[in-house]
Amino acid sequence: MKRSPKDTEASARKITRRGLVLGGLQAGMLGVLGWRMRQMQVEQADEFRLLAEENRINMRLIAPARGLIFDRNGIPVAENTQNYRVVIVREDAGDVDTVIDRLRQLIYLDPDELERSLREMQRRSPFVPVTLTDQRSWEDIATVAVNAPALPGIFPDVGLTRHYPLGPDFSHIVGYVGPVSDYDLNRIEDNDPLLQIPKFQIGKTGVENKYERDLRGKAGSKRIEVNAAGRVMRELGRDNGVPGSDLQLTVDTNLQNFVEARLMLEESAAAVVMDPRSGDLLAIGSAPTFDPNKFVRGISSADYAELTENKYRPLANKSVQGAYPPGSTFKMMVALAALESGISSEETAYCPGFTKVGDRRFHCWKRGGHGYVNLEKSLQQSCDVYYYEMAQKIGVDKIAEVARRFGFGERFDIPMSAVTGGIMPDKQWKRERYGKDWLVGDSLNASIGQGFVLASPLQLAVMTARLASGNAIMPRLVKSIDGIETEIVGASPLGFNENHLRLVRKGMYAVANTRRGTGYSVRIDADGHKLAGKSGTSQVRNITAAERARGVTSNSDLPWERRDHALFVAFAPFENPTHAAAVVVEHGGGGSSVAGPLARDVLLYAMYGGMPPIEAYPSYQRGKIREMQAKLVLRDSAASPGRDRA
């Protein structure tokens, strides 16, 4: 059928429109393709070049700088030093054994350290960097960097490691850090990704452990470009994270050094020096001590065995962990309890050398007895019978009530490891602990700081500081965090009759400053520096009736571990106390003869802010004092007189 001219014209118009639409679409597509080609060739050329070279971008954690720790005068006691190390990423290395063999041809790798690293590598995800070796020289690091193309997955790195510049002086206070272990990961509830970094250091003991969260800081990260050979091409971006908080302790570095040096002249001892006005712990010594730097990278088996097999227990912080019978240093608590119960300070007790309860004798340390004694004389001469009599009159519950207000039986919240609460027993305690009733003999033993009573040198220092000040002061070890001062707690009255406190202090003064006082040999001859104190000698063995009949064996004739503990507590100056101290010499023998001189030396150094003048000692002792001072191993700054650091 022949189409009309009209139909032909309409059909032509439709074809033209379709051609225009199709042509427009084609032109648009060509335009888009052209724009995309330009974008890929010009604007994204670098990105596609990376892809062409099989480069990739990695994210890696950056460990923040650990917070520093300073003494009260701003002297660093825990700092960070640069640590050059060589790290491997397993997924980048390919054949790990081959790559490590190449590395060993370039630098020396300790076999034991390498074996530990390989075990660590198998436990970690393949993308987690594992340290093969650290504490390397700059020459070693440069060698690895130059040979990076032949060492895929291995790269040099620099970080920070902990260092303790004062070594053993602060080992029991600051503690130490060490690599994160599986035990640590199972023990602590912390999802911080930093803990997954092999050999990342965390606090293990002491302040390092108790303030771990503050000191650790927050992780940073960096984006790096790595090529197909594993070589780091460039760093694309970095977030350094947040460094840890800096801590300032209340401890004085020079005094701490002197205390440790003085304690080291004994076999095993502890001392605490405290400011009775603020509660600041100025020195906390425990001897023997150890070098915490050995623990930072992981201590060797030989070094660790040397510490653990030492019978004097250098790893134990005896100043806060040790719990000892306080002996006669406890008598101030009984005296104060008697006064608070209404017993006059002039009331006397007769001491024939023993007290008899039933068919048992409780002996005084002085076999022939002291005769009639009142409160002051009982402290001055440390008469046991007086306290036996007081204990029977007032009962153990009253004694325990007073003693607890002075810190006995309290576990103080200071950032140190394994702080003991000691034991301050009473009738209920014995029923709960042993299911037995309290006996009169238990009260007599407790009255002279024996039996169930146990206290740490820290608790004895707190007791002495509270006696000196009359306030319920609490011990403080951290002075500030990032410059913000921590609170002083307990600078309010204990609530005891001030006259009763004065009577007890007067008795302590008589101990060291009257000729019949048990501590007269440790008096201070310098005006304005007189001390008040109390000696203690606590038994660690039973003395049988047969031994008493033939004569008690002297400490010097006994094995070390069966000798009495020697204790001494003191504060000074008597009129305006600025320092309180407690000393325990394990199995040292007599409190006045062994612990007393140590306590006096420590207090004198603290009061003078440096080595005290020889004139502060009694004239007949000065030759021996010079000999003692010559034996001390002190840092130069601690050996010379210094400023007042109270």
Q: Which residues are catalytic?
A: 328
Tokens representing 222 are 């960096």
Please return the burial class of 120, using the count of CB atoms within 10 Å of its CB with bins 0-12, 13-18 and 19+.
middle
CA distance 166 to 181: 26
413: amino acid identity, one letter:
D
Distances (CA, A) of 402 to 189, 337, 426, 463, 616: 40, 6, 12, 11, 35
The position carrying tokens 């650990």 is 66
Distances (CA, A) of 517 to 533, 553, 624: 10, 24, 21
How many alpha carbons lie under 13 Å from residue 385 in its C-beta half-sphere? 24
SS3 of 5, please?
Answer: helix
Question: Which residues on adjacent β-strands are paired with residue 280?
Answer: 476
In this structure, are residues 366 and 387 in contact, taking their beta carbons and an 8 Å threshold? no
DSSP string across 362-398: EE-SSTT--EEE-HHHHHHHT-HHHHHHHHHHH-HHH
Tokens representing 138 are 């700059």
Contacts of 333-336 with C-beta under 8 Å, sequence gap 24+, read 333/399, 333/402, 333/403, 333/406, 333/408, 333/463, 334/387, 334/390, 334/391, 334/399, 334/447, 335/375, 335/378, 335/379, 335/387, 335/390, 335/503, 335/504, 335/507, 336/402, 336/496, 336/500, 336/501, 336/504
- The maximal CA–CA distance of the chain, rounded, in angstroms, is 155
